Chain A
Amino acid sequence: MSALLEVRDLKVRYGGNLALSVGALSLGHGEIIGVVGGNGAGKSTLVNAVAGWSRGAPRVEGSVQLGGRDISALPTHRRVREGLLLVPEGKLIFGTMTVEENLAEGIDDPGEGRKPYSVEEIYALFPRLAERRGHLGSQLSGGERQMLGIGRALRLAPRALLLDEPSIGLAPKLVRTVLQSVSDLRAHGLSVLLVEQNVKAAIEVVDRVLLLERGQVVLEGTAAEMRNNPRIAEAYLGAQRA
C-alpha cells in the first residue's frame, strides 16, 4: 500500500541556520505517527513545513506528496483544500468568533474518499463544544480550544491531520480525552502526524514513533518497540523536566 503522505529531503532554514533536515517520512493510510523530542528539537518546524505554514518566515525546501500528488508548489490554503490540515500550537482558534462560527467554515465538495464532518458530528465527538456553542473562542479553556481546533480541521474533510502539541497545558485527564479522540479518528480512516511532548501519553495511541533531536530524526520504530527504548524514556524524562 502506498503511503498517504510522503515527505522527501525536507530542509527548513531560519536565516542561515538549518533548523530541520528530514530525509524521508511517510504516513500510511489510517496511521498515527507520534513525533517526539525535547524543546527545540524541530517538532513544530516539521509539521509546519509539511503544511507549508509558519508564523515566521523560514526557507523551506523539499517535496511533499499527498495521495501520490506533489503538493510542494501549492500555497498553504490550497494544501488545506487538498486535505492536509494543520492544527497549530498556540493560537489555534479565532477568539473573536463563537464556537459555532469557528466551526462554520466547511468544505462542500471535497472529492472522492473524503468526508467532511458536519457540525453536529463534531458536537457528538466533543460534547463539551456543544454546550459552549454560543461562547466566544477567547472564553474557552485550553482543552476546549484543542477540541475546537481539531473540530475546525475536521470540518474541512482532512486526509491527513497534523496536530501540534494538542495536550500542552492540559490536565492529565483531559490529555487522555483529547488523545483518545485522536485515536478514535483513526478508526474513521484518518491519518495523523501527532507532535507530542507528553511521550508517555502519546505512545499509547500512536502506531509509530519518530524521535527528533536538533532537527534530525534520530530514532524511528513501532510504538511497541519504542515503549521501552531507553532513549525514548530519556526524551520522556527530558520533557518532564522541561
Chain B
Amino acid sequence: MNLGQQILNGLVLGHSYALIAIGWTVLLGVARLVNFAHGQMYMMGAFVAWMVMAKVGLPYPLALVTSVLAGVLIGFVMQEVMLGLTLRQDLVSIMIVTLGFGYVLHGVAAIAFGSTGQILDTPFSTINVYWNDIWFTGQDLFIIAVTVAFFIALQLVLAKSRLGRLARMVAEDPKLAILAGVDVRRVYFGVFAFQGAAVALAGAIVGPRTPILTSMGFEEVIITFFVVVLGGIGSVLGSYLAGLSLGLFTAFFGALVSPAYTTPAAFLVLIAVLVLRPGGLAAKPGGA
C-alpha cells in the first residue's frame, strides 16, 4: 500500500464528503428538517454543470453558478410544497415527501439528461500532478480548496453576520424568534435554498471525480447522514472533522480490505456510535 497516496485519497474524499453534507448539517441544525432528496440534488448539480459545459459550451465557473441556481430553485420549490408540514414540524411526513421529491428528480433528470453515464470534465480534472509516487488531479486540489473556503465562510457567517444570528435564533427556539420579529418562514426558505445551493455546488465540484449517472444519489444521502451524525447534529466544525474521518476511513478500508464493502463497514461504525452514545443524537444544537 502506498501510504501517502491513501492519505491523500482520504483527504480528498473527506473534503468531498464534508462538502456534500454541509447543506444538511445546516438544514438539520437550523430548521430541524431532513431532506432525502439530498442525493438527487447532488446528482442534479452535477448534471446541470455537465449540460452547461458540454451542451451549451459555457466555461466551468458559469456552470458552477448555474448549478447553484438550480439547487436554490429546487430547494425553493420543495419548501413551497412542504411549508405546511414544516410549520407543523411534521418530520415524518417531511421525510417521506422529500423521498418522493428525490424520486421525481431522478425521473426528471433521466428525461432531461438521458440514462447513460457522462463524464463531467473540468479545466482542473484534466491536470494531473505526480509528486514522488503520489498522483492527484487539479480537481482534487480544487475540491479541498473550495471545501475549506466554504466551511470557513459558513462558520464566519453563522457566528458574525445578522443572517447567521437569525438562523441560530430559529435553531434554538423558533417560537421565541418570532417574538424577536423574525419571519421564521423566510428563514426556513433561506435554509432550504442554502441546502440546495450547497449540495448542487458539491455535485458540480465533486461530481467530476467519477462518471455521473442520473441514478446517483442513494449513497450520498447515507454518506451525509454518517457525517451529520458523527459530527454531532448541526455542528459545522464537527461535520468537517467527521467528513474527513470518514474519507480517511474509506480510503484505508478500501485499500486494506475491500473497496466494495466500505459502506457496510462505515455503517457498523455508525451503529457503534449510535449504540454507545444515543444521547449524542438527541442533543440539539442551541438547546439550553
- Physical contact A–B (CB less than 8 Å): yes
Q: Which A positions have Cβ atoms within 8 angstroms of B?
A: 51, 53, 55, 75-77, 80-81, 85-88, 91-97, 101, 104-105, 107, 137-138, 152, 156
User: Do B179 and A88 touch (CB < 8 A)?
Assistant: yes
Let me know if B183 is at the binding interface, CB within 8 A: yes
Tell me the minimal C-beta distance from A227 to chain B in angstroms: 32
> How long is the Cα–Cα vector from A92 to B168 in the complex, in angstroms?
15
Checking B165, B175, B182 against A101 with a beta-carbon cut-off of 8 angstroms, the contacting residue is B165
Interface contact tally, CB-CB below 8 A: 64
Chain A contacts for B178, CB-based, 8 A = 53, 76-77, 80
Q: Can you pick out 8 interface pairs between chain A and chain B where the beta carbons lie within 8 Å of each other?
A: A55-B175, A80-B179, A86-B179, A93-B176, A94-B176, A105-B165, A138-B288, A156-B181
Residue of B nearest to A136 (CB): B288
User: Do A96 and B184 touch (CB < 8 A)?
Assistant: no
Q: Interface residues of A: mostly helix, strand, loop or mixed?
A: loop
Checking A55, A75, A80 against B180 with a beta-carbon cut-off of 8 angstroms, the contacting residue is A80
Checking B172, B183, B184 against A94 with a beta-carbon cut-off of 8 angstroms, the contacting residue is B172
Interface string of B4-37 (1 = CB under 8 A from A): 0000000000000000000000000000000000
Chain B contacts for A107, CB-based, 8 A = 181
Checking A75, A92, A156 against B176 with a beta-carbon cut-off of 8 angstroms, the contacting residue is A92
Tell me the minimal C-beta distance from A81 to chain B in angstroms: 5
Chain A contacts for B74, CB-based, 8 A = none
Q: Which B positions have Cβ atoms within 8 angstroms of A?
A: 162, 165-166, 168-169, 172-173, 175-176, 178-184, 285-288
> How long is the Cα–Cα vector from A101 to B165 in the complex, in angstroms?
8
User: Do B172 and A104 touch (CB < 8 A)?
Assistant: no
Q: Known pairs A75-B183, A81-B181, A86-B179. 20 more at Cβ < 8 A?
A: A51-B179, A55-B175, A76-B179, A77-B178, A77-B182, A77-B183, A77-B184, A80-B181, A88-B176, A91-B176, A92-B176, A96-B168, A96-B286, A97-B169, A101-B165, A104-B162, A104-B165, A105-B181, A156-B180, A156-B181
> How long is the Cα–Cα vector from A156 to B180 in the complex, in angstroms?
8
> How long is the Cα–Cα vector from A55 to B286 in the complex, in angstroms?
18
Tell me the minimal C-beta distance from A195 to chain B in angstroms: 15
Checking A51, A53, A86, A95 against B288 with a beta-carbon cut-off of 8 angstroms, the contacting residue is A95
Chain B contacts for A94, CB-based, 8 A = 168-169, 172-173, 176, 286
Chain A contacts for B173, CB-based, 8 A = 91, 94
